[in-house]
Amino acid sequence: MVDVAIIGHGVVGSGVAEIIINHNELISQKAKRQINLKYILDIRDFPDLPYSDKFIKDFDTILNDDDVRVVVETAGGATFAYDYVKACLLRGKSVVTSNKELVALKGAELLKIAQDKNINFLFEASVGGGIPVLRPIAQCLAANDLIEITGILNGTTNFILTKMIKENMQFDDALSMAQRLGYAERDPSADIDGHDAARKICILASLAFGKHIYPEQIKTDGIRGMLLSDVELASRMGYVVKLIGHSKVLGDKVSASVCPAVIPTGSVISNVEDVFNIIKVRGDAIGDVAFYGRGAGKLPTASAVVADVIDCVKHLAARKYLFWEDGDKDYVVDPDSVAYDYMIITSVANADALATLGCNTVEHNGSVAGIVEKTSKNDITTRLQKCGINDYRVFRVID
Amino acid sequence: MVDVAIIGHGVVGSGVAEIIINHNELISQKAKRQINLKYILDIRDFPDLPYSDKFIKDFDTILNDDDVRVVVETAGGATFAYDYVKACLLRGKSVVTSNKELVALKGAELLKIAQDKNINFLFEASVGGGIPVLRPIAQCLAANDLIEITGILNGTTNFILTKMIKENMQFDDALSMAQRLGYAERDPSADIDGHDAARKICILASLAFGKHIYPEQIKTDGIRGMLLSDVELASRMGYVVKLIGHSKVLGDKVSASVCPAVIPTGSVISNVEDVFNIIKVRGDAIGDVAFYGRGAGKLPTASAVVADVIDCVKHLAARKYLFWEDGDKDYVVDPDSVAYDYMIITSVANADALATLGCNTVEHNGSVAGIVEKTSKNDITTRLQKCGINDYRVFRVID
């Protein structure tokens, strides 16, 4: 029998507890050992739950109980969660987390401790909720050099953009609807300013390319205040606006960014709507592969956590191949200095100036858009300023 | 050091040999043991290859060499390949194969031997080429009941249909082009009559639902002679025609089929074009997840085989969770007796009769189409015959 503890009985943590208790026979059979949920650490009381006897308030109870071999961290944040996870790993307990902030900030350090202790630190649920993506990437990696990752990584912003694209909703109305439906927090900044997607691209790129990328190294632009007229103009040109996390190998460095981008209609990514996520990975041998599904939600995320728990229990004395080195401050290139294709949208008064950049322009409703090819964003800024254009929006073209 | 042998130096087998030899350090590091390619069994000679000294012609050399712990079978077919794979497993050697015919016909039997011998029988490359799909399904399974699988499983037919949809090519011209480009064999029947897709849905559904489904239990319709006018009419109605492999749990039985289907434009599957594949899996907790990529090709397929080899070498004494029971003849329900939505296309002369089935009809170029909801194909056949309609095509609606 293997004892398991859960830290944090929130949405995901309670889902994990329910699955472990209600499907105990099935998951124990899959893990080839009896799994026993022994403790749940939470500052709150839950007297009415059928498993209310498992709640504790003192972390040391978990830490000092050597029968607890696997700890699930679903408390969130990177302060207490970091202390708890690190202490558990140092004590030789495998840890499973869905906490993307923690992994994006401290992944390399925690993976190193797990390696030294020959235990597992798994976090499949930290990216893409229930979509299996980190393990398949590790598997692709076994016989491929991965070179690029592109993803719709945040369901809330994808929901908002889908409402703008399909129903011509204004940004604020779509955000309010997302909040009403429980897809967006009351303070939506982690989603709409791109920070959530940035943490996920950190984790994906760190794993795929082998070296930690930290959130502060990721150029992050969100979709706050996205103009419906820009979305409509992009549509007229055959593109949809999506918030894209992207990272690409450039020699021994990488570029990494989160930004609103335009995707040609008809590509697989362009049809990923509502709260769905997609993660596309390019390898030298395999070409493009992609993983699609709901990126969040209590049950999908909890089921991914439980799959990791099963894996930890099955491999108490063997490590899964999931590792990356620490990064360094020169590893990540400013994406605005890298040449991409960009769509520029500005006031129709600037149409002639925009045309001098060498792009065909399309006008709609007082705005004009054009696409410049293989130019850095820094270059575009300089050239637009020379033309006297200061009020414009730039969208990277991604296919 | 672990010795590995390859049976069959064709497209995939030669790719596997090249990867094992050219990337030996990297893959040995990932396997945590030195991997040594010791033998390649082929009836042909390859005197000019840098590794020509590895070729042998006698299978017993592999079988009787106890240092060979992992055997790669890339010979194809289910006669010799079956004998070789079975003999290796019985001798306690782990086996990796890309041979979908073998797995679809003999999977349950071979998995049982592997289980009894506590070794691995892995076949990730048999479905979806380099797309990681079987392992992620096994992973999803750990905390989900899977209930439905839908896929574009054959790149050749998807290429042909894409040419018909996008470039208004006739079927025969698109097939010729696929043959010229090397996507289709000179005898294209395995692809265009749906048998290749049927083998893949056998493997996927056997794994996902836990019980072997055999190819002869799968109702299989291909796209041979697909009418361009039908493809165009479906487009006018907002659908694309795709060859779909599908299987669904119905109580303690399953339905399973390969058939031309119509998919609403705008769904993720509808945008999967050319030789790309997609496999969508529905679980009770996870909802829909999908895996996308090139379903064939030397390097993607070989890299998936090599990833399995690495896994075998890492787990010489531990089994991966990949197993299903033997099936039985009553397990698979006739899909034509199950209610689905269908699009019916017939001559415009039958428009009034078609309308009596209760569907709104659309006419184009001498044909008429309508959609009937939640009706079995058997029922549709009976009702159309009653109306005196004998010349018609039926496409299942899948989204």
For the stretch B149-197, pLDDT in tens is: 999 999 999 999 999 999 999 999 999 999 999 998 899 999 999 999 9
User: Does the beta carbon of A317 lie under 8 angstroms from any beta carbon of chain B?
Assistant: no
Decide if pLDDT at A142 tops 80.
no
What pLDDT is attached to residue B338? 96
Complex prediction ipTM: 0.91
| Partner residue opposite A306 with nearest CB, options B130, B142, B304 | B142
B-chain residues within 8 Å CB-CB of A143?
A: 19, 23, 27, 302-304, 306-307, 310
Two tokens, residue B297: 């090709």
Give the nearest chain A residue to B290 (CA atoms): A292
| CB-based contacts of A118, cutoff 8 Å, min separation 6 | A317, A319
Look over chain A and give the mean of its residue pLDDT values, rounded to a whole number: 94
B289-302 in b/e burial notation, b at 16+ Cβ within 10 A? bbbbbbbbbbbbbb
Q: Give percent of chain A with pLDDT exceeding 70.
A: 100
Domain assignment of residue A272, given as a range:
134-292
| Partner residue opposite B292 with nearest CB, options A23, A268, A285 | A268
> Does residue A324 belong to any structural domain of this protein?
no
Residue A320 CA to residue B241 CA, distance in Å, equals 42
Two tokens, residue A87: 């202490």
What pLDDT is attached to residue B281? 96
| CB-based contacts of B243, cutoff 8 Å, min separation 6 | B152, B153, B154, B157, B158, B161, B194, B197, B222, B223, B258, B259, B260, B261
Under 8 Å between Cβ of A295 and A272: no
> Does residue B326 belong to any structural domain of this protein?
no
Residues 125-154 of B with CB under 8 A from A: 130-132, 135-136, 139-144
B-chain residues within 8 Å CB-CB of A19?
A: 143, 285
Dihedral over Cα of B19, B24, B29, B35: its sign: positive
Under 8 Å between Cβ of B341 and B216: no
Query: Are A209 and A99 contained in the same domain?
Result: no
B-chain residues within 8 Å CB-CB of A399?
A: none
Query: Are A199 and A279 contained in the same domain?
Result: yes
State the pTM of this model: 0.93
Give the nearest chain A residue to B141 (CA atoms): A307
Query: Are A287 and A302 contained in the same domain?
Result: no
Strands (E), B146-275: 146-152, 219-220, 239-250, 253-264
* Count: domains in chain A: 3
Domain CATH number, residue A280: 3.30.360.10
Look over chain B and give the mean of its residue pLDDT values, rounded to a whole number: 94
Query: Are B26 and B167 contained in the same domain?
Result: no
Query: Are B147 and B188 contained in the same domain?
Result: yes
For the stretch B259-279, pLDDT in tens is: 999 999 989 999 999 999 999
Smallest CA–CA separation between B160 and chain A, in Å? Answer: 17
Cite the active site residues of B: 200
For the stretch A256-276, pLDDT in tens is: 999 999 999 989 999 999 999
Query: Are B182 and B109 contained in the same domain?
Result: no
Query: Are A16 and A109 contained in the same domain?
Result: yes
Inter-chain residue contact A297 with B287, CB threshold 8 Å = yes
Query: Are A110 and A203 contained in the same domain?
Result: no
| Partner residue opposite A321 with nearest CB, options B30, B286, B318 | B30
What pLDDT is attached to residue A258? 98
For the stretch A360-388, pLDDT in tens is: 889 998 999 999 999 999 999 999 999 88
Query: Are B145 and B174 contained in the same domain?
Result: yes
> Does residue A309 belong to any structural domain of this protein?
yes
> Does residue B87 belong to any structural domain of this protein?
yes
> Does residue A39 belong to any structural domain of this protein?
yes
Question: Residue A305 carries which side chain, given as an amino acid letter?
Answer: V
Under 8 Å between Cβ of B190 and B207: no
> Does residue A368 belong to any structural domain of this protein?
yes
User: Does the beta carbon of B292 lie under 8 angstroms from any beta carbon of chain A?
Assistant: yes
Under 8 Å between Cβ of B89 and B113: yes
Scan for tokens 């002679």, then name that residue: B225
User: Does the beta carbon of B272 lie under 8 angstroms from any beta carbon of chain A?
Assistant: yes
Query: Are A306 and A252 contained in the same domain?
Result: no
A-chain residues within 8 Å CB-CB of B304?
A: 143, 286
For the stretch A80-128, pLDDT in tens is: 999 999 999 999 999 999 999 999 999 999 999 999 999 999 999 999 9
Question: Residue B30 carries which side chain, given as an amino acid letter?
Answer: K
User: Does the beta carbon of A267 lie under 8 angstroms from any beta carbon of chain B?
Assistant: yes
Query: Are B345 and B370 contained in the same domain?
Result: yes
> Does residue A330 belong to any structural domain of this protein?
no
Q: What average pLDDT score do residues A68-75 get?
A: 97
Domain CATH number, residue B383: 3.30.70.920
Domain CATH number, residue A78: 3.40.50.720
| CB-based contacts of B216, cutoff 8 Å, min separation 6 | none
pLDDT range class, residue B144, cuts 50, 70, 90: confident
Long-range contacts of B354-359 (CB under 8 A, 24+ apart): B354/B387, B354/B389, B356/B387, B357/B383, B357/B384, B357/B387
User: Does the beta carbon of B354 lie under 8 angstroms from any beta carbon of chain A?
Assistant: no
Question: Residue B251 carries which side chain, given as an amino acid letter?
Answer: G
Query: Are A224 and A362 contained in the same domain?
Result: no
Under 8 Å between Cβ of B316 and B94: yes
User: Does the beta carbon of A167 lie under 8 angstroms from any beta carbon of chain B?
Assistant: no
What pLDDT is attached to residue B266? 86
> Does residue B320 belong to any structural domain of this protein?
no
